[in-house]
């Protein structure tokens, strides 16, 4: 059976999500352990909004154990803020997550890229079975249709966009302010691109532990790059600091801030990368992504109108997935029947060659394969169209003495 366990913004605050977040290296270790446990299929998703494990061939308790083993979360905490889904509820949930309907910011389509990455990573470890392959492909298909056929993702929709929108709406003369962007992972890069796109600011400074990454992005947009060692100096100059470092521990604390002028700090990291002690400074305002995500604008309100259409598309694609899933129930019987007929055909062909030495084996084999395929197709169609598939399957298995599980 399919199982999904996880924590998300709906029940878990930033601190709780931080405890259960999984770094890239932790995800790798978790997948390796899943291999060792011989779990048939498993995918890991860890973003700023949620950490989830999807699996087939493992119990929900085994998944909770895995999550707690490779994160800083405890089982007691999980039972307070986590959730568990089984069977069709997993399918419904994954469709909602993958199409942005369950995102903290409605229509956030960055999630589908993250799901694709999760799928690819699991595939490398041999943890994707045919069921997962079809399920993830269906979710990706639904996401693409919703993006093309609705306005659910109209305009920019992401944490990085919302942070820039906040600056534009609440900071006068934002084009003239000094903005420091600290950390250039995916969210940091997207924030940088949104800043360049939506402002005329040429006072944007980039700092990253790996300077090469900062220089590459700065060259694209003609921005300023400073060394990591210069962080305190650049904070002193800044009016706004955007922290997107994605570290396990805080990367910015009160000890790095040496300025008396008003300073806005936007923390876009999970877990929090800005220490709570910065709030001891009267000139500092800190906002985390949860607070930013609650702020809506007219664009977001407009998107809500397309929720019914997006749900309808999800239901259409889900119906196709369930139809495929239904055919899988009788596929082993049809396969066993085909294999039995092929074996009989080979035996008969050998017998006929002894009686008729001039018989062309290639031509006889082609005719035999054609007939076998025609018969199996007809039987498959009969089962598919039957009002009682279980009875039809049972009859065919009894008549031909088939064991589809062998």
- The active-site residue out of 4, 48, 68, 192 is 48
| CATH code assigned at 223 | 3.40.50.720
Residue 231 lies in a domain: yes
**Domain final residue, candidates 119, 149, 179:** 149
- Find the Cα–Cα–Cα–Cα dihedral 406, 394, 86, 144, rounded to 10°: 90
135 with 11, same domain?
Answer: yes
| Cis preceding linkage at 320, omega within 30 | no
The total domain count for the chain is: 3
98 with 184, same domain?
Answer: no
The predicted structure's pLDDT at residue 155: 62
The predicted structure's pLDDT at residue 296: 60
The predicted structure's pLDDT at residue 156: 55
Residue 305 lies in a domain: no
Residue 230 lies in a domain: yes
Residue 311 lies in a domain: no
13 with 114, same domain?
Answer: yes
Q: Is this model's pTM higher than 0.75 or not? A: no
Give the Cα separation of 31 and 388 in Å (integer). Answer: 40
31 with 127, same domain?
Answer: yes
- Give the DSSP H or E segment for 215: helix 211-221
**Please, how many CA atoms are within 13 Å of residue 194, restricted to the half-sphere of its CB?**
22
345 with 252, same domain?
Answer: no
Residue 356 lies in a domain: yes
234 with 335, same domain?
Answer: no
Give the Cα separation of 30 and 391 in Å (integer). Answer: 42
Q: Which residues form the domain of 183?
A: 161-295
241 with 113, same domain?
Answer: no
The predicted structure's pLDDT at residue 404: 64
174 with 136, same domain?
Answer: no
Residue 316 lies in a domain: no
Catalytic-residue membership of 192: no
Q: pLDDT tens per residue, the chain (406 residues)?
A: 899 999 999 999 999 999 999 999 999 999 999 999 999 999 999 998 999 999 999 999 999 999 999 999 999 999 999 999 999 999 999 999 999 999 988 888 788 989 999 999 999 999 999 999 999 999 999 999 999 999 887 765 678 888 888 899 889 999 999 999 999 988 899 899 989 988 989 889 999 999 999 999 999 888 999 999 999 999 999 999 999 998 889 999 999 999 999 999 999 998 899 999 999 999 999 999 888 877 666 677 788 899 999 999 999 999 999 888 877 777 777 778 788 888 888 888 888 888 888 888 888 888 888 888 888 888 777 777 777 777 777 887 777 777 665 4
8 with 145, same domain?
Answer: yes
119 with 245, same domain?
Answer: no
The predicted structure's pLDDT at residue 293: 77
Give the Cα separation of 353 and 211 in Å (integer). Answer: 75
Residue 78 lies in a domain: yes
The predicted structure's pLDDT at residue 144: 95
The predicted structure's pLDDT at residue 349: 85
Strand order in the sheet with 41-46: 41-46, 50-56, 2-8, 83-86
Q: Are the beta carbons of 33 and 122 closer than 8 angstroms?
A: no
169 with 278, same domain?
Answer: yes
Beta strands at 83-86 and 284-288: parallel, antiparallel or unpaired: unpaired
The predicted structure's pLDDT at residue 143: 95
Residue 304 lies in a domain: no
């Amino acid at each position: 059976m399919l199982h999904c366990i996880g924590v998300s913004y709906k029940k878990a605050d930033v601190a709780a999500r931080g405890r259960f977040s999984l770094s890239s290296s932790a995800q790798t270790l978790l997948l390796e352990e899943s291999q060792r446990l011989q779990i048939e299929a498993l995918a890991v998703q860890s973003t700023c909004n949620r950490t989830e494990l999807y699996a087939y061939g493992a119990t929900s308790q085994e998944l909770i154990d895995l999550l707690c083993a490779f994160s800083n979360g405890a089982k007691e905490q999980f039972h307070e803020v986590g959730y568990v889904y089984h069977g069709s509820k997993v399918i419904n949930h994954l469709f909602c997550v993958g199409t942005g309907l369950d995102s903290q910011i409605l229509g956030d389509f960055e999630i589908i890229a993250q799901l694709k990455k999760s799928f690819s990573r699991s595939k490398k470890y041999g943890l994707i079975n045919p069921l997962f392959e079809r399920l993830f492909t269906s979710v990706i298909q639904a996401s693409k249709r919703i993006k093309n056929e609705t306005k659910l993702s109209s305009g920019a929709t992401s944490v990085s966009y919302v942070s820039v929108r906040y600056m534009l709406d609440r900071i006068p003369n934002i084009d003239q302010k000094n903005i420091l962007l600290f950390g250039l992972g995916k969210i940091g890069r997207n924030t940088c691109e949104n800043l360049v796109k939506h402002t005329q600011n040429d006072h944007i400074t980039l700092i990253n532990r790996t300077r090469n990454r900062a220089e590459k992005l700065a060259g694209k947009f003609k921005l300023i790059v400073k060394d990591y060692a210069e962080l305190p100096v650049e904070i002193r100059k800044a009016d706004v600091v955007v922290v997107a470092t994605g570290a396990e521990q805080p990367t910015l604390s009160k000890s790095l801030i040496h300025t008396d002028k008003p300073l806005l700090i936007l923390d876009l990291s999970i877990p929090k990368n800005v220490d709570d002690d910065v709030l001891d400074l009267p000139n500092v305002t800190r906002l985390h992504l949860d607070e930013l995500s609650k702020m809506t604008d007219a664009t977001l309100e407009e998107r809500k109108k397309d929720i019914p259409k997006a749900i309808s598309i999800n239901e259409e694609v889900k119906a196709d997935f369930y139809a495929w899933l239904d055919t899988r129930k009788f596929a082993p019987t049809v396969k066993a029947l085909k294999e039995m007929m092929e074996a009989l055909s080979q035996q008969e062909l050998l017998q006929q060659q002894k009686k008729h030495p001039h018989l062309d084996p290639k031509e006889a084999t082609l005719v035999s394969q054609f007939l076998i395929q025609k018969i199996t197709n007809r039987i498959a169609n009969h089962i598919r169209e039957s009002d009682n598939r279980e009875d039809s399957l049972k009859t065919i298995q009894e008549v031909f003495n088939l064991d589809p599980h062998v």
